[in-house]
Amino acid sequence: MNMDRNKDRKKIVGVFFVIAVVIGVFFLFPDLLPAVDDAKAPVHTYLSDYYIENSLEDTGAHNMVTAVLADYRGFDTLFETCVMFLAGVTALMVLSTTAKVTKPERSRKERLQISFGSTVLDIAFRIIVPVIVIYAFYVLVHGELSLGGGFQAGALLAIAYMIDRIIPSFNSSLGNLKEETAAVIAGVGVFIYILTGLLPMAGSGNFLEYGKLPFGADTAEQIRQLHGTGILLIEIGVVVCVMATIINILEVVLERTEFDD
Amino acid sequence: MIDIIETFLAEKGIYMMTFILMGLGIFGMVSSGNYMKKIMCMNIMQVSIIFFFLALGQKEHGTLPVVVENLLGADAYINPLPHALMLTAIVVSLGTTGVALALLMKIKEIYGSIEEEDITGKRWKK
Amino acid sequence: MNLFFISHIPVLIVVIPLCAAVLCPLLSRLSPSLGKRTVIVFLFVVFVLSLIQLAGIVQSGEAVHYYLGGWEPPYGVEFVIDGVNGIIIVLVSFIGAMTALFSSPFEEADKNAPFKSAGYYSILCFLVIGLLGIASTGDAFNLYVFMEIVALSGYGLIAIGEEKGPIAAFRYLLTGTIGASMYLLGIGFLYSATGTLNMADLAVRLQRVDNLPLIAIAMACLIVGFGIKMALFPLHGWQPAAHSYAHPAADPMIAGVMIKIPAYAMFRFFFCIFDSSLPMMKTIFNIIGIMAVLGILYGSLKALRYDKYNKILAYSSIGQVGYIALGFAIGNFYGIAGAVFHILSHAFMKTGLFYTSAAFKYRYGIHYTDRLGQVYRKMPVTCGALVVLALSMIGLPPFAGFFGKWYLALGAIQNGQYLYVAVLIISSLLSAIYFFRIFEKMFMGEKTVSEPAAPEEYYGYGKLTGKTEVPLQMLIPIVSAALMIIALGLGNSFIVNGILRTTIMEVL
Amino acid sequence: MTILSIKPFLAVVISLLAALLILFFGNNVRPNVREGITLSAAVIKAVLVFSMVPAVLAGNEYYFCLWEIVDGVELAFRTDAAGMIFACVASGLWIVTSVYSIGYMRGHHEKNQTGYFAAFAVCLSSTIGISFAANLLTFFIFYEMLTVATYPLVVHYRDDKARASGRKYLAYTLISGQLFFAAVAAVYVIYGTCEFKAGGFIDPGSVSTGLMLMLFLLMIGGGAVKAGIMPLHGWLPSAMVAPTPVSALLHAVAVVKAGAFCVLRVVCYVFGPEAAGWCGADKILAWFAVATILLSSFIAMRKDNLKARLAFSTIGQLSYIVLGISVLAPYSITGAMFHIVAHAFLKITLFMCAGAIYVTTGLSEISTMGGLAKKMPVTCACFGLASLGIAGLPLLAGFVSKFNIIRGALIAGKPLFVAVLVAAALLALSYLIPVVRVFFGKSDRSAEISGHAQTVGEKYGGHAGYNDAAPAMLIPIVITAVVSLVLGIMPDAGPHLYDLAVIAAESISGGGGAIV
């Protein structure tokens, strides 16, 4: 008991120490960072201006964040997607050495009984799932125009699957993926991205240079459209990868842990 | 006097908060004995850095960096670059957390606990 | 066609193994060993490409720039490859390919669980990709992404290792995330002052920044970030456990290369981006020097205490990373050349030594040096390579380790930093103690190696066969590491004068 | 004139190749093949080395450069007169020692012979490398190679005693090697070159006295440890646990002579007499040498173990060489260099005799060897001859060298050293002659000895009653004894080693004015 109090006191001292150090640094060097909202700060006058002024013209994407993410810095995003894939594979590898938990196979009748507790909720979820899927596609294709993009769409699709999977009363309407299969699909998703990057090389462009996708484009407008195509293609890759990875992790966890129903 | 503090807080307050958040995150990672709490503190730290970048991207009178109808000029939009960077950082931290949780499950299976004291006392120390 | 191919080499070096890594699970579905073979073959292809690239750079004497997505820097991400990272890419791809080959007896393709070896190879390949990316990139944020790729694959390979692997990986994950976050924070500070992320552009625009506290804090963040990643002395906590318990076949890569590449990135930041004429640079270098000196002594002394082969090697790595940091702290041509050369030579030495460690585990399940008695009669080639590598670690000529030390000593003497020379000598002698102790146990100890009577007593990885030396896939990497040490030692002047000199001179 | 030729390099590499072959075949082939490799490599090496003598005598140098190893320093070999002397001795004696080794190892049924012969070959490779090295870095590479290659020989028996002495050996040599390394690096940074030059490349006054003295001491330390100058001699007596051929090699040819040669290179080819005299290093070195000569003689008198007594005798004799060098007079340098030759032949004879006695009779303590001469007349006679040579009696090789050193010291006006040298010669008599007297004296235990000899003889030769050492051991002993006799009468016989020493000394003092 006494020890605990001592520990707590130490923690409080630590917290105040951290706060004091940060405040101290800020009062010692008030000009350390530019003021928030200061439009004249170097952050806002160099690259930022270029992106804001040229992104629509360069890439045809109305959403500048998407333009930066998927086009100007598309290479970062490729590896961001790889991080997802890698996380899924790693989780699978880490947990694959432990034995799977065998769960008793339940009959359909039983499954229908164990649910969220009420028919209303069950039915509600049944209705929600298709809506989520449709919304996900909307988010995907709308990414370059307004807010949205592959990661969000992938997450939404995964949620649709998740609901389908964890509500016991569902009759597996979307099918039951094995975690290894999910990892394979995630890999294919990344590969779509890589292929999109490699294609412009055939048109004497650099890696990920969408403007030189070998689909025949001459005018500036067509090139802009090609950028749109490129962004869409990689977003599809991202969607597949993110969705499969989330499913992968979910399956790994579900198979190896005993949850209280 | 109050004016000065007010402008200071207005200009730098958000940075101060993010750094305090980061400091607390690291402090929590070091001090807490529960591995789950360590992961949470790790997330707090990562989020604070995301905040820091987003605060850098703020601009007076700036709006969302989406061209709705016509381009309004550079002053009208906030900086899109930090947002793009932070999307990447978020995904990376998501991946890290996922792996951390998987590891935690594994640790729980091996040691039967996620308290550092139990693990150190039992088997970690040679 | 020929030209097309050549101009894309910088990105192909990263993308080709990436294809293998992401398709590895799929290919393993088709045929159990297909994915694994693809990874090995692709990594060898990358090694050849990296050699072609290096030859081009040496011939032209200019750095290669590759604009990803066709966007010119600073708007897009670019790859910049000059002499220094050209040779580091060769190093990474060579050791990566060799390690992939080395792993194949450990990860026999299993029809019932095809994913097991596929997942391992995928993660290993990602480790190589991340390291190649860090070495190639010219963009500060891109470096962060690659750093995370390296870290994540590192966590995976450590976690699937031996008994305490998961917990070692978890600790590395916590520490490594702090490191990466500190790096990101440092980038954030620099970004706030310059508004750019491209390294070359940062260097130009930083010269106009007179906000010294900001630069100092950014540097501190970067030192902590890189320091954690490369296990520099006070920030090394995660390293010994991680290197001891990682997957034995991937351990060579983790211990040999994974902690060297952040050191290279540190070189990029401190010599290519920051203005070395700043008055506080001297203080910063002195701080790095103190960390390095303490690390060298700590690592060497700590290694004496352990009996576990991997632990000895891990602690010796802490000391050896100190050598590299020492070279940066010295900061003149010889110092930097010594540091970069030591990155190369130590990568081969440590990788080779971990190969031998894995070979002992594979054949006889040996973890402790006590059990190495007379093992050389059973595994003569492995032990011969071990002797060469260990002598190089001690720093005896004509092996590569000596010349790394030689350049560092030259640099330190040129600057009049005699303390550093003394530390180099002391560390050599300490490492002589722990390596000769291993020799004594190996060559003079009682015979402790024995064939287990029954298969269930057997705790090695390989199948029990009549042969006592490890299979050819493992012998080739072991022998090639030893040969590379000799070649690097005798040919060090080709590397230092032929490849590194122009780049380092530009930087200074 | 410089002749570009691959010969020096080949001479170095041939035994390295032999070592690899020996290791490769290992125990898979019959011992005859393995020893055949050793012997043929030894012969080829000797032929290569001796074939270069005439050109060197004519004032030419062979030169071979592999490639630039670091900026401005090449991995290069140059056969100057001084190096030639050492190489001739080493390569010539390798043949003898190989033959002897074969006899000894078989007679003794040693284990681990493969490793033994391989390490032996590497040792010789590095010794030739040391003698032909054209610059400090090449020299250092082979010097450290020698350190490492000798280690397996020292710990050959692999018991606790061997391990302890192996550790001791490594501690001494590695520490001094590392200090030598620091000094080489410093010299390279300060002077931008590492090339050996007769008369030295360091100018007096180029750096402060303190720094130069420090550099000198660091470098000399490397040589002094191997040459066994007190107080750095500790490893040498304890390394006696090794088999006798190793002791013979260590204490007569390769290691200790490499140390002495290192001192010669540093004093005469790096610093030069002038700079060495300027910073006062010569006096320090000389006094250490004097102290070592006297102390080691006194210690040697008290040792009953034959090998230990010889070891301390070695320590004393090597300090002769060092003293000769540090007198810095042309005659004394000639004498010092010739003493490398003379002492090599004499001491190897002594050691081989000790080994032969041990293998044949199992005796290692002097006090138990009474009347041995009756059983082993030839061995004992050779031992007596070599003892007299070590003491410096005229008509034996030791006399020529000691006479030259004394002459140099007299000319240089250092009578104290002359006194020490003469005293040391008497001391050498006083610790070696008693051994000979025991051999030729009466014995009350000869029956016991002959009993043992019979069993050993049976084991070895297959026929009982064998008394003197086996031919494989006896022939080398006789050869070296005869050579040391011949060299005493005609110092210039054979490959003109005395002339080489004179040439080297002239080239060293040619540029220097400090020599009085």
* pLDDT tens readout for residues D232-279: 887 877 877 777 777 777 667 778 888 888 888 888 888 877 777 777
Taking the C-alpha atoms of residue C97 and residue C104, their distance in angstroms, rounded to an integer, is: 11
B42, B56, B103 ranked by CB distance to C166: nearest: B103
Is the pLDDT at C128 greater than 90, yes or no?
yes
Structure-model confidence comparison of residues B12 and C450, the more confident one: B12
Interface check for A88 against chain C (CB to CB < 8 A): the answer is no
- Average pLDDT for chain C: 87
3-state secondary structure chain B: CHHHHHHHHHHHHHHHHHHHHHHHHHHHHHHCCEHHHHHHHHHHHHHHHHHHHHHHHCCCCCECCECCCCCCCHHHECCHHHHHHHHHHHHHHHHHHHHHHHHHHHHHHHHCCCEHHHHHHHHHCC
Nearest CA in chain C to A79: C145
Q: How many domains does one find in chain A?
A: 1
The single residue listed with the structure tokens 């599809």 is: A236
Name which residue leads in pLDDT, B102 or A172: B102
Tell whether ipTM is more than 0.90. Answer: no
Contacts of B61 in chain A (CB under 8 A): 39
Cα–Cα dist C261/C268, whole Å: 11
Show the tokens assigned to A56. 């629509």
Contact D16, D44 (CB under 8 A): no
Contact of C483 with chain D, judged by CB distance below 8 Å, is answered with no
Interface test with C, best of D189, D208, D215, D218 (most C CBs within 10 A): D189
- Helix (H) or strand (E) holding D274, with range, is helix D272-278
Confidence band of A260 (pLDDT split at 50, 70, 90): very low
Interface membership of D458 toward C (CB under 8 Å) = no
Q: Residue A82 carries which side chain, given as an amino acid letter?
A: C
| Model confidence at D459: pLDDT above 50 | no
Residue C139 φ then ψ, to 5°: -125, 130
Least confident of A30-34, C286-290, D212-216: A30-34
**Residues D425 and D339: beta-carbon distance below 8 Å:** no
A6-20, A186-200, C221-235, C383-397: the lowest-pLDDT one: A6-20
- From residue A173, give the alpha-carbon distance in Å to each of A110, A119, A161, C260: 17, 17, 9, 50
What value does the mean pLDDT take over residues D429-443?
77
Closest-CA distance, A122 to chain C, in angstroms, reads 35
Residue D258 near residue D143 (C-beta atoms within 8 A): yes
Q: Where is average pLDDT lowest: A90-104, B97-111, D402-416?
A: A90-104
What CA–CA distance (Å, rounded) separates A137 from D164?
76
Contacts of D140 in chain C (CB under 8 A): 397
What was the pLDDT predicted at C141?
A: 92
For the ranges B9-18, C453-462, D23-32, D350-359, the lowest mean pLDDT is seen at C453-462
What is the DSSP pairing of strand D73-79 with strand D61-70?
Answer: antiparallel
Percent of chain C with pLDDT over 70: 94
What is the predicted pLDDT for the residue at D512? Answer: 41
Instruction: Tell me which chain A residues have a C-beta less than 8 angstroms from the C-beta of C129.
Output: 82
Name chain A contacts of C189, Cβ cutoff 8 Å. Answer: 33
The answer to whether position A209 is within a domain reads yes
Measured distance CA(D324)–CA(D327) in Å, rounded: 5
Q: Which residues of A touch B58 (CB under 8 A)?
A: 36-37
* C-alpha distances out from residue D433 to A53, D271, D309, D391, D487, Å: 103, 40, 12, 9, 21
* Three-state SS letters, chain A: CHHHHHHHHHHHHHHHHHHHHHHHHHHHCCCCCCCCCCCCCHHHHCHHHHHHHHHHHHHCCCEHHHHHHHHHCHHHHHHHHHHHHHHHHHHHHHHHCCCCCCCCCCCHHHHHHCCCCCHHHHHHHHHHHHHHHHHHHHHHHCCCCCCCCHHHHHHHHHHHHHHHHHCCCCCCCCCCCCHHHHHHHHHHHHHHHHHHHHHHHHCCCCCCCHHHCCCCCCCHHHHHHHHHHHHHHHHHHHHHHHHHHHHHHHHHHHHHCCCCC
Of residues D212 and D395, which shows the higher confidence score?
D212
User: CA–CA separation, D446 vs D452, rounded Å?
Assistant: 10
Higher pLDDT, C194 or D466: C194
CA distance C178 to B42: 8
> Backbone dihedral region of A88: left (phi > 0), alpha (psi from -120 to 50 degrees) or beta?
alpha
Which of chain B's residues have a Cβ under 8 Å away from the Cβ of C166?
Answer: 103, 106-107, 110
- Separation CA D274–CA D268 (nearest Å): 9
Of A18, A64, A84, the CB nearest to B66: A64
A36 → closest Cβ in B11, B23, B91? B11
Q: Rounded to a whole number, what is the largest CA-CA distance in chain B?
A: 67
Is the previous residue joined to C398 through a cis bond, with omega within 30 degrees of 0?
A: yes
The arithmetic mean of pLDDT across residues D346-365, rounded, is: 79
Interface contact B111-C167, CB threshold 8 A: yes
pLDDT tens sequence across C422-466: 999 999 999 898 898 888 888 887 777 665 544 444 455 555 555
Question: Tokens 């590497």 map to which residue?
Answer: D122
- Is there a contact between A134 and A110 (Cβ–Cβ < 8 Å)? no
In a domain, A144, yes or no: yes
pLDDT category at C92 given cuts 50, 70, 90 is very high
Average pLDDT over residues B11-27: 87
pLDDT band with cut points at 50, 70 and 90 for residue D428: confident
Nearest to A90 among C18, C70, C156 (CB): C156
Q: Report the pLDDT averaged over residues D421-441.
A: 80
DSSP assignment, residue D195? B
Q: What is the pLDDT of residue C297?
A: 92
pTM: 0.90
Residue B57 phi/psi, 5-degree rounding, is -80, -10
DSSP type of residue C332: S
Of B31, B67, B87, the CB nearest to A69: B87
Q: Is the dihedral of CA A70, A73, A74, A79 positive or negative?
A: negative
Give the number of residues written for chain D. 516
Tell me how far apart the alpha carbons of residues B6 and D496 are, in angstroms, rounded to a whole number. 98
Tell me: pLDDT of D438 over 50. Answer: yes
Q: Are C357 and C309 in contact (CB under 8 A)?
A: yes
Q: Please state, in angstroms and as integers, the Cα–Cα distance from residue C300 to each residue in C233, C252, C296, C427, C435, following that order.
A: 11, 19, 6, 6, 11
Residue A171 pLDDT more than 90? no
As a whole number of angstroms, the distance between CA A148 and CA A137 comes to 10
Asked if the C-beta of A12 comes within 8 angstroms of chain B's C-beta atoms, the answer is no
Residue C508 amino acid letter: L
| CA distance to partner chain B, nearest, from residue C164 (Å) | 7
Q: What does residue D61 show for φ and ψ, rounded to 5 degrees?
A: -135, 135
Question: Was domain B2-124 assigned CATH 3.40.50.1970?
Answer: no
Rounded CA gap, C420 and C409, in Å? 8
D174–C421: do the CB atoms touch at under 8 Å? no
Residue C414, amino acid: Q
- Give the C-alpha separation, D125 to D45, whole Å: 9
Minimum-distance CB partner of B88 among C145, C167, C178: C145
Strands D2-4 and C78-81: unpaired
D266 or A217, which is more confident: D266
Task: Report the range of poorest mean pLDDT among A91-105, C365-379, C380-394, D371-385.
Answer: A91-105
Question: In whole angstroms, what separates CA B46 from the centre of its chain?
Answer: 3
* Three-state secondary-structure class, residue C397: coil
User: In the predicted model, is pLDDT for residue D514 greater than 50?
Assistant: no
Asked if A35's CB is within 8 angstroms of B11's CB, the reply is yes
- List phi, psi (to 5°) of D507: -65, -35
Residue D468 CA to residue A146 CA, distance in Å, equals 105
Higher pLDDT pick, C373 / C77? C77
- Per-residue pLDDT band at A170 (split at 50, 70, 90): low
- Binding partners of C (≥3 Cβ pairs within 8 A): A, B, D
Residue C338, chain B, CB below 8 Å: the answer is no
Specify the pLDDT at position A106: 55
Q: Is D371 left (phi over 0), alpha (psi -120 to 50) or beta?
A: left
Chain C neighbors of B103, CB-CB under 8 A:
155, 159, 166, 169-170, 173
> How far C257 CA sits from the closest chain A CA (Å)?
19
Cβ–Cβ gap A82/C126 under 8 Å: yes
Q: Are the C-beta atoms of C153 and C173 separated by less than 8 Å?
A: no
C chain contacts of residue D69, beta-carbon cutoff 8 Å: 398, 490, 492-493
C173, C174, C185 ranked by CB distance to B49: nearest = C185
In the chain, the amino acid numbered D177 is G
Could D174 and C432 be called an inter-chain contact, meaning their C-beta atoms sit closer than 8 Å? yes
Say whether residue C103 is in contact with chain A using an 8 A CB cutoff.
no
- Put simply, the answer to whether C492 touches D23 (Cβ < 8 Å) is no
Percent of chain C with pLDDT over 90: 36
Helix (H, G, I), strand (E, B), or coil: what is residue D69?
strand
Residue B15: the pLDDT is 87
Interface of B with C (CB under 8 A): 22, 26, 29, 35, 38, 42, 45-46, 49, 52-53, 56, 81-82, 85, 88-89, 92-93, 95-96, 99-100, 103-104, 106-107, 110-111, 119, 123-124
Q: Mean pLDDT throughout A215-232?
A: 83
Q: What is the rounded CA–CA span in Å between residue A22 and residue B21?
A: 10
CB-CB: which of B19, B59, B105 is closest to A22? B19
Q: For C69, which of A85, A184, A206 is closest by C-beta distance?
A: A206
* Four-point Cα dihedral D64, D66, D67, D71, nearest 10: -60
Give the mean model confidence (pLDDT) for residues B95-106: 90
CB-CB under 8 Å, A47 with B20 = no
Partner residues linked to D135 by β-bridges: D195
Write the single-letter amino acid at C112. Answer: N
Q: For all residues of chain A together, what is the average pLDDT?
A: 80
**Residue D365 confidence (pLDDT):** 76
Contacts (Cβ under 8 Å, ≥6 apart) of B10: A35, A36
**Quick check: C396 and C286 in contact, CB under 8 A?**
no
In the 8-state DSSP scheme, what is residue D202?
P
For D254, residues 6+ apart whose C-beta sits below 8 A from its C-beta are D90, D123, D124, D126, D127, D146, D150
Max avg pLDDT among C370-374, C495-499, D20-24: C495-499
Q: Residue D165 above 80 pLDDT?
A: yes
Q: Which pair of structure tokens corresponds to residue A244?
A: 């499969």
Which residues are CB-neighbours of D114 under 8 A, at least 6 positions away? D22, D23, D26, D27, D34
**H or E stretch covering D49:** helix D31-51
The first and second tokens of residue D481, run together, are 């004894």
**A89 closest CB neighbour out of C66, C77, C122:** C122
Interface mutation target, options A27, A73, A179, chain C, most CBs of C under 10 Å? A73
Locate the domains of chain C by residue range.
283-508
Say yes or no for a CB contact (<8 Å) between C25 and A197: no
Give the contacts of A167 (CB within 8 A, at least 6 positions apart).
Answer: A115, A116, A122, A125
Residues, chain A, total?
261
Domain chopping of chain D, boundaries: 2-510
**A contact test, residue of C71, C207, C254 with most A CBs within 10 A:** C71
Model pLDDT for residues D21-75, shown as the tens digit of each residue: 887 776 666 777 777 888 888 888 888 888 888 887 777 778 888 887 777 788 8
d(CA C178, CA B49): 11
**Chain C interface, best mutation among D114, D170, D178, D208, by max C CB count within 10 A:** D178
In this complex, do B22 and C181 lie within 8 Å of one another by their Cβ atoms? yes
